[in-house]
Structure 1
Amino acid sequence: MTGKNTSGRGQRDLKVKVKTARGRKLSSTLWLERQLNDPYVAAARRDGYRGRAAYKLLELDDKYRFLVPGARVVDLGCAPGGWLQVAVVRVNALGEKKGKRVGTVLGVDLQEVEPLAGATAHVLDFLDEGADGQVKDWLGGSADVVMSDMAASASGHKQTDHMRIMALCEAAAHFAFDVLDENGTFVAKVLAGGAEAELQQLLKQNFRKVANVKPPASRSDSSEKYVVATGFRGQAKD
């Protein structure tokens, strides 16, 4: 044997094909096929993250450095907890980085989240009256970072879905205005589609810098992107 591979294996990427099973819609089959072939899904399993979305936050933080040791972080719509996992390590919530400040990670969601060491998750609708005060009570003060990877339930109508997620993002921004400390950071998912101008204007009024970015982990066929607003001015402006 020469040890040379002559079969062609390893010389091309292997892609898993999924047959459409009885009772399974084509859209479900395509989703399953995409999941099986997604390197970020495989990486999440390997690295122990609760979902591929964790890599989006890792990539955003690698670029903008808002999850620093000692930071107090609020994750809106935190289920299943992938962003919480990233935040716990980056802000040193478990105190594992000796000599570094210890941060706080707080998640809220409409559903219960599996417990995670270093983070506290509460069942709470952040749209409820008094939710901002409740979060600050849990934190013991204001937040340094408010982040959201939330998406409204899909209706199947592109324009409706776009409007829903933009409304959700705008509501998250107003929540951030109420709980962020001065110079704080707001990070949220948005969808490209023409209704972002109002949100952009709102953020530019309240933050010193506003960036729009599509991290590598965000699927190329998705219209999602992320807004990273840094340097909160300290109060919302009408």
Structure 2
Amino acid sequence: MAKEKGSSGRGQRDLRTRVKSAKGRRLSSTLWLDRQLNDPYVQRAQKEGYRGRAAYKIMELDDKHRFLIPGARVVDLGCAPGGWIQVAVPRVNALGERKGKAVGTILGVDLQEVDPIPGSEIHVLDFLDEGADDKVKEWLGGMADVVMSDMAAASSGHKQTDHLRIMNLCEAAAYFAFEVLDEGGTFVAKVLAGGAEGELQKILKEKFKKVANVKPPSSRSNSSEKFVVATGFRG
């Protein structure tokens, strides 16, 4: 039997998953699928039971800035598929499993229905609707300690347009946070580097004591995404 040659030519197997091109599939789709199948964070998420690789982004952000603490009241905007909530539940002790620690509250909202996650409450809601902030405070039972958002507008394929769309969405999330955050609260959101984020940075620096811009290790190196972590809301 002939040896199966890998890249070394000495019978070592190439372990990278290869994606076969399919009739009718665009090259961009094939490249995306190839990247997904061979992404270690995607593989890790599947193994550890998270709903997406984005779970590791909020883990890394919280490991550094410590805003998901026991007893925290958290709002996750655009929470689908729910990976960020999965991470937040044990960290804020939403299930009360850490005896002697305060029990947190997690509220997720999204335009679409999201499968339930124990320890959280998830609602179908457009946070841009009039009165959405009042509904969130009612469901939460008060003000929030953390508002977080991993939202991204649907891609148009035009880089500049997509950048403006996600920045507009992030600004809207920030203004929503101003309405529901308690004094001292934290705002965490995905942004895109590209020139249009200056105004948002200016607004956040007026409203918060500290504003950090972070690119967590799990964020793909070829992506322009980064995250803003604004702490110490002035109220």
TM-score range, shorter chain: over 0.9
What is residue 4 of structure 1 aligned with on the other side? none
**Alpha-carbon distance, 1:8 to partner:** 6.2
SS at match of 2:98: coil
What is residue 3 of structure 1 aligned with on the other side? none
Summarize deviations over 1:158-184 as a string: whole Å, max 9, x none: 000000000000000000000000000
TM-score norm. by structure 1 comes to 0.93
What is residue 4 of structure 2 aligned with on the other side? none
5+ long unaligned stretches in structure 2: 1-9
**Alpha-carbon distance, 1:23 to partner:** 1.2
**Alpha-carbon distance, 1:9 to partner:** 4.2
Summarize deviations over 1:23-80 as a string: whole Å, max 9, x none: 1111111011001110000000111000000000000000000000000000000000
What is residue 127 of structure 1 aligned with on the other side? 128
SS at match of 1:187: strand
Q: How does 1:1-238 map to 2 (within 5 A)?
A: 9=12, 14-234=15-235
SS at match of 1:127: coil
Structure 1 CA distance for aligned equivalents of residues 24 and 170 of structure 2: 35
SS at match of 1:45: helix
5+ long unaligned stretches in structure 1: 1-6
Summarize deviations over 1:191-232 as a string: whole Å, max 9, x none: 011001000000000000000000011011110000000000
SS at match of 1:116: coil
SS at match of 2:202: helix
Paired residues in the alignment total 227
Structure 1 CA distance for aligned equivalents of residues 104 and 198 of structure 2: 34
**Alpha-carbon distance, 1:19 to partner:** 1.9
**Alpha-carbon distance, 1:14 to partner:** 2.7
SS at match of 1:30: helix
Summarize deviations over 1:69-106 as a string: whole Å, max 9, x none: 00000000000000010111110000111111100000
Structure 1 CA distance for aligned equivalents of residues 12 and 135 of structure 2: 57
Structure 2 CA distance for aligned equivalents of residues 15 and 205 of structure 1: 48
Structure 1 CA distance for aligned equivalents of residues 225 and 18 of structure 2: 26
Structure 1 CA distance for aligned equivalents of residues 184 and 159 of structure 2: 35
Structure 1 CA distance for aligned equivalents of residues 17 and 38 of structure 2: 6
- What value does the CA root-mean-square deviation take over the aligned residues? 1.3
Structure 2 CA distance for aligned equivalents of residues 14 and 196 of structure 1: 40
